Each structure stands twice: as structure tokens, then as C-alpha cells.
């Protein structure tokens, strides 16, 4: 029996506390190196035992087990082994997230966030969540769902990663559900940059679906003001310009501030740019006076990466349709090198 196999025997719920705690400290140390992670993942029962220890009555033991699983799942090379059926790691994490009395719901979200960064992980997690995805969206939208203080912000990252899968986007767009309607309210969520950033990632992925642009911009979802409000400042407009804006953007007041994170501002602009891929989207954005919000943003913006996206978007909106000459810009035949650059922006796992 190897030392690692012997170590795994001590990672059991019924093991004496001091022995279990020492074994966990050694395990946690091993998860900090590539060689250590590979040693652990190739040892039967290690992951399964760590998952069981998340329910240990001793908080310090359960917390160390959760940290070990976070470290393991952060290594993409070991994710296939983590997802082996014998570990049931996804089911363990989902059960914890669903339990409003569990104090390790946040680490469980982090593990799933790590797993879903790969295509295999995303597919496995969605396979386990598919029948109850609505339930997890409900849990995410209830800020005080967890009674032990877990905020579940990383559940947004899980949903965002999953939205890179076509099957998940189809689920989200299903008219019999109201997934998007519930999620878009977090684009201006003040209390967590990770929550609003990840939800914007999900929305941007959905904006690649040109067949659904009319739905995204309809009253049912009302996406445009959700994307523009974080980009709007305290500027006042004359009555004519103001009346053309969506009602939510009229008279925002002198205390209105813009999204402080440049990466999120860039993501908002990229989502708007995707909506301009169709003639319907371009004309709708023009009709809602999107340009004046972008014009004021351009005067304020200092980040070069954001300005590049902003100027590209403005260039699309100020052109006449006869100059653009195509309904759906994604259906154009373009040179291979341009196609490659465009495809680099597409949601992909």
C-alpha cells in the first residue's frame, strides 16, 4: 500500500478527529502542487472521501476538505478524473448548494465554477442540473436563500460557463420558462462584481443567438435598458433626446454613476455589438437613442480596450442601412483571417 493510499483511509467521517485533521492537512498541502494533485487524483476514494467530509460535524475539517476540492478542480488536467462516476462530485456539490442550512454552499459553487470551465465539465454539470436548472436559477435569484450566510455569487459563474453550451442557451431561451427575465436584473447588481460580471457573460453569450434578438429586445426581456443603465452617467439630455430613450434611462439624476469595472463595461459593449449583428437589432438600438448614451460614455471613458469596442459599436450605429447593405452581418462571406478573429469572440468551451 502506498503512502497516498494509506492517507486516503484516514479521510473518513468516522475516523478519529486528530488523525482525520492531520490527514486533511497533508492532503491540502498536496493539492498545492501539480505532482501532488496528480498523485491524489490517481488514488481511489480520495475525491469521494473529500466530498463526504464536506458534511463533517467539525467545521474546520469540512472547510479544509472544501479547499482541497477547490484546488483540485482548478487544475484542468485533473478534471476528467474528478468527473469519474465513482466520485459523484457534481451531485455532492449540487446537494450542498440546494441545502439552505449548509455553510459550505459557496465553496461548492466554486468547485462547480472550476469544473464548468471545460467543455467536458460543462456537459457533465448540465447533465446533472438539466431537469432542475430552473430550481438553481431560483436559488441564485434569492439573495438570502442560504441561512448560513453563503451568498452564492459563484453560482453566477457556473451559469455563465454553462451558457457557452448551445443546449443551455436553448434551455434559457425556452419561452415556457422565464430564465432570462430573472437573470437580467443582475446586470447592475452593486454588491458583487463577480455576480454581475458572470451574468453579463451569460447575456453576452445569449446575444450571439441572432435568431433570438427580437425576443431579447422585446418587452418580455427588455434587455436594452439593462445593458445601457450601467453605461449611463449623470448627464442631462434635452427633452427631444430624453423622450427617445427607454423609460428606465430618462432622468437618472446627478448621482448616477457608471459601472466602475472596465472589463464589465467592455462586456456590456460587446453584448450591444452582438445585438447589432441583425438589422432589427441595429434599428431598435437607433430608435431607442442608444447613441446619446454611448456619446457621453465616449467623453468619459479612459480605458483604451473599452474605447476600441465602444468606437466600433458607434461606427455601426451611425451608418445608414444602405451603407451596411446586409440584414445579418454574420451571414456575410468574409476572408478567412477575419472569420478567425470574429470566431475568437464566440462563446466556446
- Tell me if 224 sits within 8 A of 290, measured CB to CB: yes
> Cα(180)–Cα(345) distance, rounded to whole angstroms?
21
Same fold, 1-87 and 88-207: yes
- Tell me if 264 sits within 8 A of 195, measured CB to CB: no
CB atoms within 10 A of CB 289: 20
Q: How confident is the model at residue 3 (pLDDT cuts 50, 70, 90)?
A: confident
pLDDT, tens digit (0-9, with 9 covering 90-100), for 170-208:
999 998 889 999 999 999 999 999 999 999 999 999 999
pLDDT at 86 over 90: no
* Entry pTM: 0.90
The ranges assigned to domains in the chain are 1-87, 88-207, 223-331
Domain 88-207: CATH architecture, name and number where available? Alpha Horseshoe (1.25)
> Cα(202)–Cα(164) distance, rounded to whole angstroms?
8
Cα end-to-end span (Å), the chain: 39
What 330-337 contacts at long range (C-beta under 8 Å, 24+ apart), as own/partner pairs, is 330/210, 330/277
pLDDT, tens digit (0-9, with 9 covering 90-100), for 154-174:
999 999 999 999 999 999 999
Maximum distance among all Cα pairs of the chain, rounded to whole angstroms:
80
pLDDT at 4 over 60: yes
> Cα(270)–Cα(201) distance, rounded to whole angstroms?
10
Could you tell me the fold of the domain covering 1-87? 1.25.10
Amino acid at each position: 500500500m502506498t503512502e497516498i493510499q494509506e492517507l486516503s483511509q484516514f479521510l473518513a467521517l468516522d475516523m478519529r478527529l486528530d488523525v482525520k485533521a492531520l490527514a486533511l492537512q497533508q492532503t491540502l498541502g498536496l493539492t498545492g502542487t501539480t505532482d501532488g494533485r496528480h498523485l491524489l487524483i490517481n488514488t481511489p476514494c480520495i475525491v469521494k472521501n473529500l466530498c463526504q467530509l464536506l458534511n463533517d460535524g467539525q467545521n474546520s475539517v469540512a472547510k479544509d476538505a472544501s479547499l482541497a476540492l477547490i484546488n483540485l478542480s482548478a487544475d484542468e488536467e485533473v478534471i476528467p478524473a474528478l468527473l469519474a462516476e465513482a466520485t459523484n462530485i457534481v451531485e455532492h456539490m449540487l446537494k450542498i448548494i440546494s441545502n439552505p442550512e449548509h455553510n459550505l454552499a459557496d465553496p461548492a459553487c466554486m468547485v462547480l465554477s472550476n469544473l464548468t470551465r471545460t467543455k467536458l465539465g460543462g456537459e457533465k454539470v448540465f447533465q446533472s442540473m438539466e431537469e432542475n436548472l430552473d430550481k438553481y436559477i431560483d436559488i441564485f435569484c434569492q439573495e438570502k436563500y442560504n441561512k448560513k450566510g453563503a451568498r452564492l455569487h459563484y453560482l453566477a459563474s457556473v451559469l455563465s460557463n454553462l451558457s457557452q453550451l448551445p443546449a443551455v442557451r436553448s434551455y434559457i431561451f425556452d419561452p415556457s420558462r422565464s430564465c432570462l427575465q430573472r437573470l437580467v436584473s443582475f446586470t447592475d447588481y452593486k454588491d458583487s462584481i463577480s455576480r454581475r460580471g458572470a451574468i453579463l457573460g451569460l447575456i453576452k453569450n445569449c446575444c450571439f443567438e441572432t435568431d433570438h434578438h427580437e425576443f431579447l429586445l422585446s418587452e418580455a426581456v427588455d434587455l436594452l435598458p439593462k445593458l445601457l443603465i450601467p453605461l449611463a452617467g449623470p448627464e442631462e439630455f434635452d427633452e427631444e433626446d430624453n423622450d427617445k430613450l427607454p423609460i428606465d434611462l430618462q432622468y437618472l439624476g446627478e448621482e448616477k454613476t457608471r459601472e466602475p469595472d472596465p472589463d464589465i463595461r467592455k462586456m456590456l459593449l460587446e453584448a450591444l455589438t452582438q445585438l447589432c449583428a441583425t438589422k432589427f437589432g441595429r434599428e431598435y438600438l437607433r430608435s431607442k437613442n442608444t447613441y446619446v448614451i454611448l456619446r457621453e460614455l465616449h467623453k468619459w471613458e479612459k480605458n483604451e480596450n473599452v474605447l476600441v469596442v465602444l468606437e466600433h459599436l458607434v461606427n455601426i450605429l451611425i451608418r445608414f442601412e444602405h451603407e451596411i447593405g446586409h440584414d445579418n452581418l454574420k451571414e456575410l462571406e468574409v476572408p478567412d483571417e477575419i472569420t478567425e478573429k470574429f470566431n475568437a469572440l464566440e462563446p466556446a468551451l
